[in-house]
Structure 1
Protein backbone atom coordinates (compact mmCIF):
# COMPACT_ATOMS: atom_id res chain seq x y z
CA UNK A 1 0.00 0.00 0.00
CA UNK A 2 2.84 2.31 0.87
CA UNK A 3 4.57 1.53 -2.42
CA UNK A 4 1.37 2.29 -4.31
CA UNK A 5 0.97 5.57 -2.48
CA UNK A 6 4.57 6.47 -3.22
CA UNK A 7 4.18 5.58 -6.89
CA UNK A 8 0.97 7.56 -7.09
CA UNK A 9 2.68 10.52 -5.40
CA UNK A 10 5.22 10.71 -8.21
CA UNK A 11 2.41 11.56 -10.62
CA UNK A 12 0.37 13.86 -8.40
CA UNK A 13 1.50 16.99 -10.23
CA UNK A 14 1.24 15.51 -13.74
CA UNK A 15 -2.09 17.14 -14.57
CA UNK A 16 -0.83 20.50 -13.28
CA UNK A 17 2.33 20.23 -15.37
CA UNK A 18 0.40 19.25 -18.50
CA UNK A 19 -2.09 22.12 -18.12
CA UNK A 20 0.69 24.64 -17.45
CA UNK A 21 2.69 23.41 -20.44
CA UNK A 22 -0.41 23.57 -22.66
CA UNK A 23 -1.17 27.16 -21.67
CA UNK A 24 2.44 28.24 -22.23
CA UNK A 25 2.55 26.51 -25.62
CA UNK A 26 -0.72 28.09 -26.73
CA UNK A 27 0.37 31.60 -25.71
CA UNK A 28 3.77 31.19 -27.34
CA UNK A 29 2.40 29.92 -30.66
CA UNK A 30 -0.29 32.59 -30.76
CA UNK A 31 2.25 35.37 -30.20
CA UNK A 32 4.69 33.85 -32.69
CA UNK A 33 2.23 33.56 -35.57
CA UNK A 34 0.16 36.71 -34.96
CA UNK A 35 3.09 38.85 -36.04
CA UNK A 36 6.28 40.68 -35.04
CA UNK A 37 4.56 43.11 -32.67
CA UNK A 38 2.76 40.44 -30.67
CA UNK A 39 5.91 38.32 -30.53
CA UNK A 40 8.05 41.29 -29.44
CA UNK A 41 5.65 42.05 -26.59
CA UNK A 42 5.64 38.38 -25.57
CA UNK A 43 9.45 38.19 -25.56
CA UNK A 44 9.65 41.42 -23.55
CA UNK A 45 7.31 40.04 -20.90
CA UNK A 46 9.35 36.84 -20.66
CA UNK A 47 12.55 38.90 -20.43
CA UNK A 48 11.10 40.88 -17.51
CA UNK A 49 10.14 37.68 -15.70
CA UNK A 50 13.59 36.17 -16.26
CA UNK A 51 15.30 39.29 -14.89
CA UNK A 52 13.08 39.02 -11.82
CA UNK A 53 14.24 35.45 -11.22
CA UNK A 54 17.88 36.20 -12.01
CA UNK A 55 17.92 39.02 -9.46
CA UNK A 56 16.84 36.58 -6.74
CA UNK A 57 19.41 33.98 -7.81
CA UNK A 58 22.13 36.63 -7.63
CA UNK A 59 20.95 38.06 -4.29
CA UNK A 60 18.83 35.37 -2.57
CA UNK A 61 17.61 37.70 0.19
CA UNK A 62 16.61 40.57 -2.08
CA UNK A 63 13.34 42.29 -1.03
CA UNK A 64 10.41 41.74 -3.37
CA UNK A 65 10.01 45.46 -4.17
CA UNK A 66 13.63 45.90 -5.17
CA UNK A 67 13.49 42.75 -7.27
CA UNK A 68 10.46 44.03 -9.18
CA UNK A 69 12.06 47.44 -9.67
CA UNK A 70 14.99 45.74 -11.38
CA UNK A 71 12.76 43.42 -13.39
CA UNK A 72 10.46 46.17 -14.66
CA UNK A 73 13.30 48.47 -15.68
CA UNK A 74 13.13 47.32 -19.35
CA UNK A 75 9.61 48.78 -19.55
CA UNK A 76 10.81 52.15 -18.28
CA UNK A 77 13.70 52.06 -20.74
CA UNK A 78 11.28 51.17 -23.53
CA UNK A 79 9.16 54.24 -22.86
CA UNK A 80 12.24 56.48 -22.95
CA UNK A 81 13.64 54.74 -26.03
CA UNK A 82 10.34 55.18 -27.85
CA UNK A 83 10.72 58.97 -27.49
CA UNK A 84 14.01 58.95 -29.40
CA UNK A 85 12.49 60.04 -32.75
CA UNK A 86 10.81 62.97 -30.98
CA UNK A 87 14.06 64.33 -29.57
CA UNK A 88 16.31 63.35 -32.45
CA UNK A 89 15.18 65.97 -34.93
CA UNK A 90 15.89 65.63 -38.65
CA UNK A 91 18.28 63.00 -39.79
CA UNK A 92 21.57 64.88 -40.34
CA UNK A 93 22.80 62.29 -42.77
CA UNK A 94 19.73 62.48 -44.97
CA UNK A 95 18.99 58.79 -44.65
CA UNK A 96 15.68 57.62 -46.01
CA UNK A 97 12.79 56.95 -43.65
CA UNK A 98 13.02 53.15 -43.88
CA UNK A 99 16.66 53.04 -42.83
CA UNK A 100 16.06 55.61 -40.09
CA UNK A 101 13.19 53.55 -38.68
CA UNK A 102 15.30 50.39 -38.80
CA UNK A 103 18.22 52.10 -37.08
CA UNK A 104 15.99 53.45 -34.34
CA UNK A 105 14.42 50.01 -33.91
CA UNK A 106 17.85 48.44 -33.39
CA UNK A 107 18.80 51.19 -30.94
CA UNK A 108 15.60 50.70 -28.95
CA UNK A 109 16.13 46.96 -28.65
CA UNK A 110 19.74 47.47 -27.53
CA UNK A 111 18.68 49.99 -24.90
CA UNK A 112 15.82 47.83 -23.61
CA UNK A 113 18.05 44.77 -23.50
CA UNK A 114 21.25 46.21 -22.05
CA UNK A 115 20.46 49.30 -19.95
CA UNK A 116 18.54 47.25 -17.31
CA UNK A 117 21.69 45.16 -16.80
CA UNK A 118 23.66 48.26 -15.86
CA UNK A 119 20.80 49.37 -13.61
CA UNK A 120 20.81 45.97 -11.90
CA UNK A 121 24.52 46.28 -11.14
CA UNK A 122 23.75 49.45 -9.21
CA UNK A 123 20.77 48.05 -7.32
CA UNK A 124 21.95 44.54 -6.49
CA UNK A 125 24.11 44.10 -3.40
CA UNK A 126 25.54 40.71 -4.35
CA UNK A 127 26.17 38.47 -7.36
CA UNK A 128 27.27 41.24 -9.70
CA UNK A 129 29.45 39.03 -11.90
CA UNK A 130 26.71 36.43 -12.19
CA UNK A 131 24.16 39.13 -12.99
CA UNK A 132 26.30 40.64 -15.71
CA UNK A 133 27.45 37.37 -17.29
CA UNK A 134 24.10 35.60 -17.37
CA UNK A 135 22.23 38.85 -17.91
CA UNK A 136 24.13 39.42 -21.15
CA UNK A 137 23.08 35.96 -22.30
CA UNK A 138 19.45 36.74 -21.42
CA UNK A 139 19.58 40.05 -23.26
CA UNK A 140 21.21 38.42 -26.28
CA UNK A 141 18.55 35.72 -26.34
CA UNK A 142 15.73 38.27 -26.07
CA UNK A 143 17.14 40.36 -28.91
CA UNK A 144 17.82 37.30 -31.07
CA UNK A 145 14.28 35.95 -30.59
CA UNK A 146 12.75 39.36 -31.25
CA UNK A 147 14.51 39.86 -34.58
CA UNK A 148 14.63 36.17 -35.39
CA UNK A 149 10.89 36.25 -35.96
CA UNK A 150 11.58 38.69 -38.80
CA UNK A 151 14.90 37.29 -40.05
CA UNK A 152 14.08 33.58 -40.20
CA UNK A 153 10.34 33.72 -39.51
CA UNK A 154 8.21 31.64 -37.15
CA UNK A 155 9.54 28.42 -38.67
CA UNK A 156 13.10 29.40 -37.78
CA UNK A 157 12.12 30.06 -34.17
CA UNK A 158 10.35 26.69 -34.02
CA UNK A 159 13.46 24.96 -35.36
CA UNK A 160 15.50 26.50 -32.51
CA UNK A 161 12.91 25.26 -30.04
CA UNK A 162 12.95 21.87 -31.75
CA UNK A 163 16.71 21.57 -31.31
CA UNK A 164 16.29 22.15 -27.57
CA UNK A 165 13.41 19.70 -27.26
CA UNK A 166 15.03 16.94 -29.33
CA UNK A 167 18.32 17.30 -27.47
CA UNK A 168 16.56 17.19 -24.11
CA UNK A 169 14.35 14.21 -24.96
CA UNK A 170 17.16 12.19 -26.57
CA UNK A 171 19.45 12.96 -23.66
CA UNK A 172 16.82 11.99 -21.09
CA UNK A 173 16.02 8.58 -22.57
CA UNK A 174 19.62 7.71 -23.46
CA UNK A 175 20.80 8.72 -20.00
CA UNK A 176 18.14 6.55 -18.38
CA UNK A 177 18.81 3.63 -20.74
CA UNK A 178 22.61 3.60 -20.77
CA UNK A 179 23.68 5.56 -17.71
CA UNK A 180 27.43 5.68 -17.35
CA UNK A 181 29.85 8.42 -16.24
CA UNK A 182 28.42 11.74 -15.17
CA UNK A 183 28.99 14.78 -17.37
CA UNK A 184 29.48 17.32 -14.55
CA UNK A 185 28.49 15.67 -11.26
CA UNK A 186 29.27 18.60 -8.96
CA UNK A 187 26.80 20.90 -10.71
CA UNK A 188 24.35 18.62 -12.52
CA UNK A 189 24.50 15.14 -10.92
CA UNK A 190 21.83 13.62 -13.18
CA UNK A 191 23.49 14.42 -16.52
CA UNK A 192 25.50 11.58 -18.06
CA UNK A 193 27.89 11.52 -20.98
CA UNK A 194 25.63 9.04 -22.77
CA UNK A 195 22.69 11.42 -22.51
CA UNK A 196 24.80 14.41 -23.51
CA UNK A 197 26.14 12.74 -26.66
CA UNK A 198 22.68 11.40 -27.52
CA UNK A 199 21.38 14.96 -27.30
CA UNK A 200 24.00 16.09 -29.80
CA UNK A 201 23.17 13.27 -32.21
CA UNK A 202 19.42 13.83 -31.98
CA UNK A 203 19.78 17.56 -32.53
CA UNK A 204 22.18 16.97 -35.43
CA UNK A 205 19.75 14.69 -37.25
CA UNK A 206 16.89 17.12 -36.61
CA UNK A 207 18.96 20.07 -37.84
CA UNK A 208 20.14 18.24 -40.95
CA UNK A 209 16.53 17.50 -41.92
CA UNK A 210 14.84 20.83 -41.14
CA UNK A 211 17.71 23.34 -41.02
CA UNK A 212 18.09 23.78 -44.80
CA UNK A 213 14.40 24.73 -45.04
CA UNK A 214 15.06 27.73 -42.78
CA UNK A 215 18.50 28.97 -43.79
CA UNK A 216 20.69 28.37 -46.81
CA UNK A 217 22.90 25.61 -45.44
CA UNK A 218 23.68 22.12 -46.65
CA UNK A 219 22.23 19.28 -44.53
CA UNK A 220 25.71 18.41 -43.24
CA UNK A 221 26.49 21.97 -42.13
CA UNK A 222 22.99 22.44 -40.73
CA UNK A 223 23.41 19.25 -38.71
CA UNK A 224 26.76 20.39 -37.30
CA UNK A 225 25.32 23.80 -36.42
CA UNK A 226 22.41 22.11 -34.65
CA UNK A 227 24.83 19.97 -32.62
CA UNK A 228 26.76 23.08 -31.56
CA UNK A 229 23.51 24.77 -30.57
CA UNK A 230 22.45 21.68 -28.63
CA UNK A 231 25.72 21.81 -26.69
CA UNK A 232 25.08 25.47 -25.94
CA UNK A 233 21.64 24.54 -24.64
CA UNK A 234 23.13 21.91 -22.35
CA UNK A 235 25.61 24.48 -21.02
CA UNK A 236 22.72 26.88 -20.44
CA UNK A 237 20.97 24.24 -18.36
CA UNK A 238 24.13 23.59 -16.35
CA UNK A 239 24.72 27.32 -15.83
CA UNK A 240 21.25 27.77 -14.37
CA UNK A 241 21.73 24.70 -12.17
CA UNK A 242 24.94 26.24 -10.84
CA UNK A 243 23.15 29.51 -10.04
CA UNK A 244 20.40 27.66 -8.16
CA UNK A 245 22.97 25.71 -6.16
CA UNK A 246 24.76 28.95 -5.37
CA UNK A 247 21.51 30.51 -4.18
CA UNK A 248 20.46 27.36 -2.31
CA UNK A 249 17.12 26.97 -4.09
CA UNK A 250 15.46 24.14 -6.02
CA UNK A 251 13.68 26.32 -8.60
CA UNK A 252 14.27 29.84 -9.90
CA UNK A 253 10.71 30.69 -8.76
CA UNK A 254 7.27 29.12 -8.33
CA UNK A 255 5.66 31.18 -11.09
CA UNK A 256 4.66 28.25 -13.34
CA UNK A 257 2.61 25.60 -11.51
CA UNK A 258 4.36 22.25 -11.67
CA UNK A 259 7.34 23.64 -13.57
CA UNK A 260 9.10 26.14 -11.32
CA UNK A 261 10.23 29.38 -12.87
CA UNK A 262 10.64 30.78 -16.35
CA UNK A 263 14.41 30.25 -16.22
CA UNK A 264 13.86 26.62 -15.22
CA UNK A 265 11.91 26.02 -18.43
CA UNK A 266 13.88 28.23 -20.81
CA UNK A 267 17.48 27.98 -19.62
CA UNK A 268 18.54 25.85 -22.60
CA UNK A 269 16.57 27.92 -25.14
CA UNK A 270 18.13 31.10 -23.76
CA UNK A 271 21.63 29.82 -24.52
CA UNK A 272 20.61 28.43 -27.92
CA UNK A 273 18.90 31.66 -28.99
CA UNK A 274 21.80 33.82 -27.80
CA UNK A 275 24.34 31.75 -29.75
CA UNK A 276 22.09 31.67 -32.83
CA UNK A 277 21.80 35.46 -32.64
CA UNK A 278 25.58 35.81 -32.61
CA UNK A 279 25.75 33.56 -35.65
CA UNK A 280 23.18 35.63 -37.50
CA UNK A 281 25.16 38.80 -36.81
CA UNK A 282 28.55 37.39 -37.79
CA UNK A 283 27.67 35.30 -40.83
CA UNK A 284 24.22 36.52 -41.69
CA UNK A 285 21.37 34.31 -42.80
CA UNK A 286 19.30 33.97 -45.90
CA UNK A 287 15.80 32.75 -45.16
Structure 2
Protein backbone atom coordinates (compact mmCIF):
# COMPACT_ATOMS: atom_id res chain seq x y z
CA UNK A 1 0.00 0.00 0.00
CA UNK A 2 1.39 3.45 -0.95
CA UNK A 3 0.92 6.19 1.64
CA UNK A 4 1.52 9.91 1.12
CA UNK A 5 3.80 10.28 4.15
CA UNK A 6 7.22 11.89 4.34
CA UNK A 7 9.97 10.10 6.20
CA UNK A 8 11.48 10.11 8.78
CA UNK A 9 8.33 11.18 10.64
CA UNK A 10 6.53 7.93 9.88
CA UNK A 11 8.67 4.82 10.06
CA UNK A 12 6.20 2.32 8.57
CA UNK A 13 3.37 2.54 6.06
CA UNK A 14 1.11 0.44 8.25
CA UNK A 15 1.31 -1.39 11.53
CA UNK A 16 2.77 -4.90 11.47
CA UNK A 17 0.24 -7.69 11.66
CA UNK A 18 0.83 -9.90 14.68
CA UNK A 19 1.15 -13.49 13.50
CA UNK A 20 1.06 -14.79 17.05
CA UNK A 21 -2.35 -13.30 17.83
CA UNK A 22 -4.92 -16.03 18.27
CA UNK A 23 -8.13 -15.15 16.46
CA UNK A 24 -10.88 -14.25 18.89
CA UNK A 25 -8.60 -13.77 21.92
CA UNK A 26 -7.11 -10.39 21.13
CA UNK A 27 -9.80 -7.68 21.51
CA UNK A 28 -8.07 -5.64 18.81
CA UNK A 29 -9.35 -8.20 16.29
CA UNK A 30 -12.97 -7.49 17.27
CA UNK A 31 -12.39 -3.74 17.45
CA UNK A 32 -10.81 -3.63 14.00
CA UNK A 33 -13.55 -5.75 12.43
CA UNK A 34 -16.32 -3.67 14.01
CA UNK A 35 -14.94 -0.36 12.78
CA UNK A 36 -14.08 -1.76 9.35
CA UNK A 37 -17.71 -2.82 8.96
CA UNK A 38 -18.91 0.58 10.18
CA UNK A 39 -16.82 2.71 7.80
CA UNK A 40 -19.62 3.37 5.30
CA UNK A 41 -22.33 4.01 7.91
CA UNK A 42 -20.21 5.89 10.46
CA UNK A 43 -20.84 9.41 9.16
CA UNK A 44 -24.60 8.81 9.23
CA UNK A 45 -24.62 8.53 13.03
CA UNK A 46 -21.44 10.16 14.38
CA UNK A 47 -23.31 13.04 16.06
CA UNK A 48 -21.78 12.52 19.50
CA UNK A 49 -18.30 12.04 18.06
CA UNK A 50 -18.52 15.35 16.19
CA UNK A 51 -20.01 17.22 19.14
CA UNK A 52 -17.25 16.02 21.45
CA UNK A 53 -14.59 16.33 18.76
CA UNK A 54 -15.31 19.98 17.99
CA UNK A 55 -15.30 20.83 21.70
CA UNK A 56 -11.95 19.07 22.06
CA UNK A 57 -10.71 20.90 18.96
CA UNK A 58 -11.47 24.23 20.67
CA UNK A 59 -9.32 23.07 23.58
CA UNK A 60 -6.48 22.35 21.21
CA UNK A 61 -6.73 25.80 19.63
CA UNK A 62 -6.51 27.36 23.09
CA UNK A 63 -3.40 25.39 24.06
CA UNK A 64 -1.59 24.89 20.74
CA UNK A 65 1.50 26.99 20.08
CA UNK A 66 2.45 26.71 16.39
CA UNK A 67 2.77 22.90 16.39
CA UNK A 68 4.84 21.40 13.60
CA UNK A 69 3.44 17.87 13.84
CA UNK A 70 0.00 16.75 15.01
CA UNK A 71 -1.28 13.17 15.13
CA UNK A 72 -4.98 12.33 15.45
CA UNK A 73 -5.27 8.91 17.10
CA UNK A 74 -8.45 7.01 16.21
CA UNK A 75 -9.26 9.46 13.43
CA UNK A 76 -12.14 7.42 12.00
CA UNK A 77 -13.40 8.91 8.74
CA UNK A 78 -11.14 11.93 9.16
CA UNK A 79 -13.58 14.82 9.61
CA UNK A 80 -11.87 16.28 12.69
CA UNK A 81 -8.45 15.40 11.28
CA UNK A 82 -9.16 17.45 8.18
CA UNK A 83 -10.31 20.32 10.39
CA UNK A 84 -6.95 20.17 12.16
CA UNK A 85 -5.13 20.34 8.83
CA UNK A 86 -7.26 23.26 7.64
CA UNK A 87 -6.89 25.32 10.82
CA UNK A 88 -3.18 24.55 11.22
CA UNK A 89 -1.96 24.89 7.61
CA UNK A 90 1.68 25.20 8.70
CA UNK A 91 1.48 21.90 10.62
CA UNK A 92 1.88 18.39 9.29
CA UNK A 93 -1.18 16.43 10.36
CA UNK A 94 -1.38 12.64 10.48
CA UNK A 95 -4.63 10.72 10.93
CA UNK A 96 -4.17 7.25 12.44
CA UNK A 97 -6.76 4.50 12.81
CA UNK A 98 -6.63 0.76 13.34
CA UNK A 99 -9.45 0.18 10.81
CA UNK A 100 -8.17 0.16 7.23
CA UNK A 101 -11.63 0.83 5.78
CA UNK A 102 -11.92 4.00 7.88
CA UNK A 103 -8.55 5.19 6.58
CA UNK A 104 -9.45 4.42 2.96
CA UNK A 105 -12.70 6.35 3.37
CA UNK A 106 -10.87 9.32 4.91
CA UNK A 107 -8.29 9.36 2.12
CA UNK A 108 -11.03 9.38 -0.52
CA UNK A 109 -12.80 12.33 1.14
CA UNK A 110 -9.90 14.64 1.92
CA UNK A 111 -7.54 15.08 -1.02
CA UNK A 112 -7.06 18.87 -1.11
CA UNK A 113 -5.21 19.27 2.21
CA UNK A 114 -1.54 19.00 1.24
CA UNK A 115 -0.40 18.89 4.88
CA UNK A 116 -2.64 15.90 5.70
CA UNK A 117 -1.89 12.17 5.58
CA UNK A 118 -3.68 9.06 6.83
CA UNK A 119 -2.22 5.70 7.84
CA UNK A 120 -3.51 2.45 9.28
CA UNK A 121 -1.77 1.76 12.59
CA UNK A 122 -2.28 0.46 16.11
CA UNK A 123 -2.03 3.13 18.82
CA UNK A 124 -0.14 0.65 21.01
CA UNK A 125 2.72 0.45 18.50
CA UNK A 126 2.80 3.79 16.72
CA UNK A 127 5.03 3.89 13.62
CA UNK A 128 6.55 7.19 14.75
CA UNK A 129 10.05 8.16 15.77
CA UNK A 130 10.71 8.93 19.42
CA UNK A 131 10.08 12.50 20.55
CA UNK A 132 8.57 13.40 17.18
CA UNK A 133 5.12 14.86 17.88
CA UNK A 134 4.16 18.29 19.16
CA UNK A 135 0.54 17.28 19.76
CA UNK A 136 -1.20 13.93 20.16
CA UNK A 137 -4.94 14.48 19.67
CA UNK A 138 -7.49 11.74 20.27
CA UNK A 139 -11.27 11.95 20.24
CA UNK A 140 -13.21 9.07 21.83
CA UNK A 141 -10.62 6.43 21.04
CA UNK A 142 -8.83 5.54 24.27
CA UNK A 143 -11.85 3.70 25.69
CA UNK A 144 -11.22 1.04 23.02
CA UNK A 145 -7.64 0.44 24.10
CA UNK A 146 -7.22 -3.12 25.48
CA UNK A 147 -4.23 -1.90 27.49
CA UNK A 148 -4.41 1.78 28.38
CA UNK A 149 -0.97 1.73 29.99
CA UNK A 150 0.62 0.49 26.76
CA UNK A 151 -1.20 3.10 24.68
CA UNK A 152 -0.22 5.99 26.96
CA UNK A 153 3.38 4.78 27.01
CA UNK A 154 3.41 4.76 23.20
CA UNK A 155 2.06 8.31 23.13
CA UNK A 156 4.64 9.43 25.68
CA UNK A 157 7.41 7.96 23.55
CA UNK A 158 6.20 9.72 20.40
CA UNK A 159 5.77 13.17 21.98
CA UNK A 160 8.56 15.71 22.16
CA UNK A 161 9.56 17.01 25.61
CA UNK A 162 6.81 19.48 26.49
CA UNK A 163 4.54 17.89 23.88
CA UNK A 164 0.79 17.98 24.45
CA UNK A 165 -1.71 15.15 24.81
CA UNK A 166 -5.28 16.35 24.28
CA UNK A 167 -8.00 13.71 24.32
CA UNK A 168 -11.56 12.76 25.17
CA UNK A 169 -12.76 9.37 26.35
CA UNK A 170 -15.84 7.72 27.84
CA UNK A 171 -16.35 7.45 31.59
CA UNK A 172 -18.27 4.73 33.48
CA UNK A 173 -21.46 6.81 33.57
CA UNK A 174 -21.88 6.29 29.82
CA UNK A 175 -24.99 4.40 28.68
CA UNK A 176 -26.17 3.98 32.26
CA UNK A 177 -29.81 3.77 31.15
CA UNK A 178 -29.05 0.88 28.81
CA UNK A 179 -26.87 -0.84 31.41
CA UNK A 180 -29.52 -0.56 34.12
CA UNK A 181 -32.33 -1.76 31.86
CA UNK A 182 -30.40 -4.86 30.80
CA UNK A 183 -29.47 -5.59 34.43
CA UNK A 184 -33.16 -6.20 35.15
CA UNK A 185 -33.33 -8.85 32.42
CA UNK A 186 -30.25 -11.10 32.69
CA UNK A 187 -26.80 -11.42 34.27
CA UNK A 188 -24.79 -10.65 31.14
CA UNK A 189 -22.77 -7.46 30.64
CA UNK A 190 -24.34 -5.58 27.73
CA UNK A 191 -22.36 -2.34 28.05
CA UNK A 192 -18.59 -1.97 27.98
CA UNK A 193 -16.67 -1.15 31.14
CA UNK A 194 -15.11 2.31 31.02
CA UNK A 195 -12.21 3.58 33.13
CA UNK A 196 -13.21 5.99 35.91
CA UNK A 197 -11.61 9.36 36.56
CA UNK A 198 -9.41 8.14 39.42
CA UNK A 199 -8.00 5.23 37.43
CA UNK A 200 -7.45 7.36 34.33
CA UNK A 201 -5.59 9.95 36.40
CA UNK A 202 -3.42 7.22 37.89
CA UNK A 203 -2.64 5.73 34.46
CA UNK A 204 -1.62 9.14 33.11
CA UNK A 205 0.64 9.81 36.08
CA UNK A 206 2.22 6.35 35.79
CA UNK A 207 2.99 7.17 32.16
CA UNK A 208 4.70 10.35 33.47
CA UNK A 209 2.19 12.79 32.00
CA UNK A 210 1.47 16.03 33.83
CA UNK A 211 -2.28 16.72 33.87
CA UNK A 212 -3.03 20.40 33.33
CA UNK A 213 -6.79 20.21 32.79
CA UNK A 214 -9.38 17.48 33.38
CA UNK A 215 -13.10 18.08 32.87
CA UNK A 216 -16.10 15.78 33.08
CA UNK A 217 -19.05 16.69 30.86
CA UNK A 218 -22.27 14.74 30.33
CA UNK A 219 -23.58 14.63 26.77
CA UNK A 220 -27.01 13.24 25.87
CA UNK A 221 -28.48 11.67 22.77
CA UNK A 222 -32.26 11.35 22.40
CA UNK A 223 -34.06 8.50 20.64
CA UNK A 224 -37.61 7.46 19.82
CA UNK A 225 -36.96 3.84 20.79
CA UNK A 226 -34.21 1.84 22.45
CA UNK A 227 -33.78 -0.06 19.18
CA UNK A 228 -32.86 3.24 17.50
CA UNK A 229 -30.10 3.64 20.09
CA UNK A 230 -28.80 0.14 19.51
CA UNK A 231 -28.87 0.56 15.73
CA UNK A 232 -26.85 3.77 16.09
CA UNK A 233 -24.24 2.05 18.25
CA UNK A 234 -23.98 -0.74 15.67
CA UNK A 235 -23.52 1.72 12.79
CA UNK A 236 -20.77 3.43 14.78
CA UNK A 237 -18.97 0.12 15.26
CA UNK A 238 -19.35 0.45 19.04
CA UNK A 239 -19.65 -3.22 19.92
CA UNK A 240 -19.77 -4.80 23.38
CA UNK A 241 -16.33 -6.20 24.23
CA UNK A 242 -17.08 -7.52 27.72
CA UNK A 243 -15.91 -11.04 28.49
CA UNK A 244 -19.22 -11.56 30.32
CA UNK A 245 -21.33 -10.46 27.36
CA UNK A 246 -23.97 -12.72 25.86
CA UNK A 247 -22.16 -14.34 22.94
CA UNK A 248 -25.46 -15.44 21.40
CA UNK A 249 -28.17 -13.26 19.92
CA UNK A 250 -30.58 -11.92 22.52
CA UNK A 251 -34.10 -13.32 22.22
CA UNK A 252 -37.17 -11.40 21.07
CA UNK A 253 -38.49 -11.74 24.60
CA UNK A 254 -35.38 -10.05 25.98
CA UNK A 255 -35.74 -7.15 23.56
CA UNK A 256 -39.37 -6.70 24.50
CA UNK A 257 -38.36 -6.60 28.16
CA UNK A 258 -35.59 -4.15 27.34
CA UNK A 259 -38.09 -1.82 25.69
CA UNK A 260 -40.31 -1.95 28.77
CA UNK A 261 -37.52 -1.25 31.28
CA UNK A 262 -35.81 1.41 29.16
CA UNK A 263 -39.12 3.14 28.53
CA UNK A 264 -39.15 4.23 32.18
CA UNK A 265 -36.51 6.81 31.24
CA UNK A 266 -38.74 8.47 28.65
CA UNK A 267 -38.77 12.25 29.14
CA UNK A 268 -41.58 14.81 28.96
CA UNK A 269 -40.97 15.17 25.22
CA UNK A 270 -41.51 11.43 24.77
CA UNK A 271 -37.83 10.81 23.99
CA UNK A 272 -35.49 8.19 25.43
CA UNK A 273 -32.17 9.62 26.65
CA UNK A 274 -28.79 7.96 26.38
CA UNK A 275 -26.20 9.58 28.62
CA UNK A 276 -22.48 9.73 27.89
CA UNK A 277 -19.96 10.70 30.55
CA UNK A 278 -17.09 12.32 28.67
CA UNK A 279 -13.66 13.06 30.09
CA UNK A 280 -11.75 15.90 28.45
CA UNK A 281 -8.05 15.86 29.32
CA UNK A 282 -5.09 18.09 28.54
CA UNK A 283 -1.70 16.77 29.66
CA UNK A 284 1.92 17.42 28.80
CA UNK A 285 5.10 15.37 28.67
Q: TM-score range by the shorter chain?
A: under 0.3
For the pair shown, the structure with the greater C-alpha radius of gyration is: 1
**Is the strand fraction higher in 1 or 2?**
2
TM-score of the superposition, structure 1-length normalised? 0.27
**Is the helix fraction higher in 1 or 2?**
1
